[in-house]
Amino acid sequence: MVKRTRKAPPMPALDPDALRRSVDDGMIITRSAIVVALDNWIILRALSAGESFDAAATTAEARAELRRIEAEQRELSTRAAAIRTKVSKRRGTALHGHDYKRADDMALALRSAAHAEVADRLAEQREDEEYLASLVEDARMRAWGDIGSAILGRIGSPVVGYDAADDGREERIRELREVDIPGLLARTRAQAEVQELDERW
């Protein structure tokens, strides 16, 4: 017996304002995620490999992140479209958040369209040198802020004319080197692992 393939329902007319809001929100979220990922990448590269900041290498990493998230968004769009097809004849009341019914068709269509639009914009941004430069600079500043905060918190701000003799600065430098920097590196690695687990789920 040949199993009949259910046809996808026709795409409904979407509210352009709702679609625009969904896409704008998606772009804000993805940009933030990319900056955080680059921040972690810069810190790991600096602290574990001893590499200096490299704008070209970070730009290449930004492109890779854009490509990865673009693929993720296309997959989400396809998944939402597949769910629309699957539940197009399903009636009744949802029992939980993922128990989609025919009444959810508009929301699923909007979700599919928004993910597809976000993916298209990310593909364009991969070729936008100005946008890539802004991602790299934001990530660089964030990474410097993370490392700089650890340094200033441990050593203290320099004061012109201040006699640093016997103020414990050498001990604080040692603790920065042996405690704070390794701790920052461990937290960065942990954040990267959590992000990877979240992406798998």
Specify if 8 maps to a domain.
no
Q: Could you read off the pLDDT of 111-122 as tens digits, one per residue?
A: 999 999 999 999
pLDDT band at residue 47 under the 50/70/90 scheme: confident
Specify if 57 maps to a domain.
yes
Whole-model pTM: value is 0.69
| Residue pair 125/132 in contact by the 8 Å Cβ criterion | yes
| Residue pair 199/72 in contact by the 8 Å Cβ criterion | yes
Specify if 5 maps to a domain.
no
Domain residue limits at 156: 16-200
Specify if 125 maps to a domain.
yes
Specify if 7 maps to a domain.
no
Specify if 2 maps to a domain.
no
Dist. CA 146–CA 29, nearest whole Å: 21
- Return the closest-CA partner of residue 81 out of 47, 42, 108: 108
| Residue pair 150/181 in contact by the 8 Å Cβ criterion | yes
Specify if 126 maps to a domain.
yes
Number of separate domains in the chain: 1
Q: Could you read off the pLDDT of 132-171 as tens digits, one per residue?
A: 999 999 999 988 887 766 555 544 555 444 455 555 556 6
